[in-house]
Structure 1
């Protein structure tokens, strides 16, 4: 097989074709006495077919991975082109050339042998008594026998896995059976690398193809850097195959070599297994779609105040596995490397990043420490709203389509939140994802941690998103108000800080009041009428005076301090104050005007108005 070695101890290889290496070909009875006389470095090139050279211009009729047989007769009157022919055959992807030299060519030219050695293109010298038809029969028969054995093994794997799927088994059962057949660890991941199901993965998660993970987090396969086919990391070989259904990329099936190195039959079996895995994913997707819609409808009704009895709502949420009632429930967490939700992808990768988007229970060999839940007297609820930022393009990670960005984004949040505490409600509402978090006195570290895990290659893909967080509330009845606060916070945060902002409602200050104004035109009119000539957009003089005014207001009209911050002479600043007052009025004397000016300046900071 062809290999490329990197500086990090990594070797990337394509799947071994079903054929013979040049060395194995020479071991066939029909080639007894044949030997490689040049290009020994290419002894492991793969032979899949045989051709005979009958005319000088053979190139239009050759194919990659062919063994080309010749007596040299077509080139007997001009042996020098044979040297150039070696380079042409190598570029065409042929495996080797076998020549009977002595009858028509005599000894092979030294230039020919040197060219073959430089290219690593095997030149085989055939004994005089070897018949071409015997070579054709032996080589093709051996290749067909190997192909037949591979197909039989692939069919066995397919039948075994299909039977599991027909009996209702999921990804966990499929990975366990495949690990038994292949003799090494097997994983199913999302397109962005989150592990959905595995068997034996704890023995390989230290390899560089996985992201390093803290003790209480799962490892992620670096799918953005792992190509389909065979790859070796520091001596550990694995095969990766995409899981595709309906031209939609649902994830990756990865098998690590255990008892022996993988061959063509293993890769072919893995490709068949990926088809069965896609069927299992689609089956779970159908179930999850109904469950997710039911949960999302309930959470939407709860957060929009459509439910009359909050206590009954909390009880109903408990039947869905959500804990939003008074007090607290024992902590919930997942163990080991696997996830139990088919999660998102790049994404991504980004993300950039898709979810196979169902709920599937996968057994893990390792157990992660269970985080301590908050004590009853410190537990509060906050509502988090995350929205994809508009105006972004999605670059596909492969030739296969990804699931819609909104679905992948919601799936990423569901996967990440469930890994921390699956009793926290989370659902996707059209353009936004809503999470109800149980938190202590300061929710910010928990919120930042969740956002960091969803972002980028963490599952949400490479599309940016903005997040708004409500104030803490104590009861279910307060959740509708908290939901509105979070929605206003995410919109205001994006206006103030641009895409990717994180805004807490209780930290918005005066922007909390501005967010309550539903008409952007009203805000623009107020800013223009208050700032007058200073509100001119694109005018450098107006922008310069606005900055001077803002610094004056920030320093509580301390002219000396403002001059120091602006690097102006005191008299220069006094002159500028005069210019500003001629435009907007005597703000140095009128506190009410200063308040209006301060609010107007903040309106100008808001984007999208």
Structure 2
């Protein structure tokens, strides 16, 4: 007969890291009815979990046994075939039984040595029962012990649940949850986010830091336990309990699971509040950068409620992801109350911001959003570390920071604190295998100058990336002639100048013409040094002479006309700014 355990009598973390229910064989041997029993083999298997009991009194018992059973027998089914005992241990072990308890004397006088050796080798406990104990007494006693343990575990779990829920109802956060769990378990406990950063910790600092590494592994009984914090289908991190002395108990995993559930509620609540606050802050900063937030006094007063200090000289930093999909252009604050797209097309028409550009694949869009969120988090952390009064907000495709600039000129700040912020943010963001470029504005003395400073930072980040590639950091004042070209308000005029100056070389459709334009660019960069140009382009000297003649027939005598050379140089610079 089989008596299953109804419900979770106790919690046990098996060596595989999975949660099972029941009592280990070693504890079952401690009940009063088994005090006269002797363990004769399989001592290494005392940690096997007993979930049910079964009595073997039929020959075909193997068809009825179940995993995690304690099997009781007098040997009656095997009295006529003692040779079957040699293989019985192997058969039972393969079916996942916890242990075998045998009462000798009535049907079997002894157990074969091969059976005992095999049980020791497999770590399968073999127990000899006393003659004066009945199977019904064992069944009742073990089941009673299991049920008593179940009641104690459920009572403690309910107590923990009430305490943790009370923390949430009283407005407590992750730190209070972690403190409560650490006090209950009497071990170190930490809440980690998805990047293994410690959000809250209780216990010695060295234990809290150790849990950052433990959170990456699987749960291990005794030393540490790990439970994921999941809400709304999203993994928000982990709750980790750590005890170097191995003092974690059977039921501690249940308490940790309750704590993870409460932590998920706290995290989602904090995220909801943070999302609303972040959007409100970003909207107000967008209004400031668009010149729609009111006069300086109103802006300064309103920002002080956010912890932003704009009543001082400041500069604007714009960080933008590199390698963004085309068509996914930023929506930037405009002074007419709307939002304007970022790039200018080759025909002088503004490229449409999304929606309206090339649609991004769903997977790509989700990846971009996640990268943008991580960039915002990295920048916020880096900026706050250097300037507590800075304003930081994430827009659709960029992170904007307004930082103090009262301690020096823009160039010095760009090479000092700003460079440090960029390096710190880049170090965090490097884990995601993405880069970002940064644009830096001039210093402005009041909020009224922020719209212009923002435009400067945007131009700096775009031109800097074009000139220096991904990961560029550019100050507006360091853009040289590109700064002057970026100040032209009518892009169509710039592109008309390119077409009029370069003629056929302005297009990208013909590879031969693109190659000729490259030759012209290197000639101008080397100040018409034919030998140096031939070396850079790997041309024969006579080949280059032929190309120069062809270029002059198309563009005019630029080798003799300094003004023409200036126009050609400017036109090539405009082409390098294409898409900015």
Shared fold per TM-score greater than 0.5:
yes
CA distance in 1, matches of 2:431, 2:447: 29
Q: Given the alignment, which residue of 383, 394, 400 partners 1:428?
A: 394
Work out the CA distance in 1 between the residues paired with 2:191 and 2:541: 69
The answer on whether the counterparts of 1:18 and 1:48 sit within 8 Å (CA) in structure 2 is yes
Which residue matches 2:165?
162
Residues 338-387 of structure 1: CA deviation (Å, up to 9, x unaligned) = xxxxxxxxxxxxxxxxxxxxxxxxxxxxxxxxxxxxxxxxx643333445
Q: 1:267 aligns with which of 237, 253, 262?
A: 253
Write the deviation string for residues 233-282 of structure 1: whole angstroms up to 9, x where unpaired.
xxxx4433333333343443333338861123222112212223333334
**1:448 Cα deviation (Å)?**
4.2
Q: 2:194 aligns with which of 191, 194, 213?
A: 191
Once the two structures are superposed, residues 106-157 of structure 1 have per-residue CA deviations (whole angstroms, 9 ceiling, x without a partner) of 74574x6676666x44242434846554444444433333332222222222
Displacement, 1:322? 1.4
Is 2:17 the counterpart of 1:33? no
CA distance in 1, matches of 2:98, 2:495: 74
Q: Which residue of 2 aligns with 1:217?
A: none
Residue range with higher mean Cα deviation, 566-575 or 552-561:
566-575
Change (3 A) 1:57 1:573: farther
What corresponds to 1:588 in structure 2? 559
Deviations 1:28-54 (A, max 9, x none): 44444342524x444333333345566
CA distance in 2, matches of 1:77, 1:150: 44
Counterpart Cα distance in 2 of 1:567 and 1:521: 36
1:175 aligns with 2:178: yes
Offset at residue 295 of structure 1 (A): 2.8
Change (3 A) 1:222 1:506: farther
**Is it true that 1:383 corresponds to 2:373 in the alignment?**
no
**Aligned residue number for residue 446 of structure 1:** 417
Could you say if the C-alpha distance between residues 24 and 490 of structure 1 is closer, same or farther in structure 2, counting changes exceeding 3 Å?
same
Query: Does residue 126 in structure 1 map to residue 128 in structure 2?
Result: yes
Contact 2:191–2:240, Cα closer than 8 Å, also in 1: yes
Question: CA separation in 2, counterparts of 1:395 and 1:222?
Answer: 30
Output one character per residue of 1:52-87: Cα deviation in whole Å (capped at 9) or x when no partner: 566758479634x44455659488676676476367
CA contact under 8 A between 2:393 and 2:400: conserved in structure 1? yes
Checking the alignment, whether the CA contact within 8 Å between 1:42 and 1:121 is kept in structure 2 is yes
The question of whether the paired residues in 2 share the 8 Å contact of 1:28 and 1:138 is answered with: yes
Q: 3-state SS of the aligned residue for 1:382?
A: strand
Query: Matches of 2:468 and 2:142 in 1, distance apart?
Result: 68
Cα 1:109–1:197, aligned 2, differ >3 Å: closer, same or farther? Answer: same
How far off its partner does 1:323 sit?
Answer: 1.1
Q: Does 1:551 align with 2:537?
A: no
Measure how far apart 1:533 and its partner are: 5.9
Q: Deviations over 1:465-501 (max 9, x none)?
A: 4433323333322211111222233344555666655
Look up the SS of the partner of 2:200 in the other structure: strand
- For 2:524 and 2:104, the matched residues in 1 are separated by 95
Matched residue SS, 1:434 = strand
Unaligned ranges ≥5, structure 2: 1-11, 326-359
Deviation at 1:205, TM superposition (A): 4.7
Aligned ranges for residues 17-416 of structure 1 at < 5 Å?
17-31=20-34, 32-38=36-42, 40-51=43-54, 58=62, 62-63=66-67, 65-68=68-71, 71=75, 73=77, 82=88, 85=91, 88-89=94-95, 94-97=97-100, 103=107, 107-108=111-112, 110=114, 120-127=122-129, 129=131, 132-200=135-203, 202-207=205-210, 209=211, 221=212, 226-227=216-217, 229-230=219-220, 237-257=223-243, 261-326=247-312, 380-387=314-321, 390-391=324-325, 409-416=375-382
Counterpart for residue 486 of structure 1: 457
Distance 1:535 1:275, change over 3 A: same
Partner SS state of residue 442, structure 1: helix
Tell me, yes or no, if the aligned pair for 1:99 and 1:123 is still in contact at 8 Å. Answer: no
Is 1:530 aligned to 2:502, yes or no? yes
- Gaps (5+ residues) in structure 1? 5-12, 210-220, 327-378
Q: Is the 8 A contact 2:442 2:456 kept in 1?
A: yes
State the 1:164 CA deviation. 2.7
Q: Is the 8 A contact 1:527 1:603 kept in 2?
A: no
Higher relative contact order (CA 8 A, sep 6+): 1
Q: Is the 8 A contact 2:319 2:439 kept in 1?
A: yes
User: Whose helix proportion is higher, 1 or 2?
Assistant: 2
- Residue 363 (structure 1) aligns with: none
Larger radius of gyration: 2
**1:204 match: secondary structure:** helix
**TM-score, with length taken from structure 1:** 0.69
**Inter-CA distance 175–322: structure 2 relative to 1 (3 Å threshold):** same
Distance 1:18 1:566, change over 3 A: same
User: Cα RMSD between the aligned structures?
Assistant: 4.6
TM-score scaled by length of structure 2: 0.72
Work out the number of aligned pairs and report it.
520
Q: 1:37 to 1:545 in 2, by over 3 A?
A: farther
Q: Using the alignment, how far apart are the partners of 1:443 and 1:383 within structure 2?
A: 10
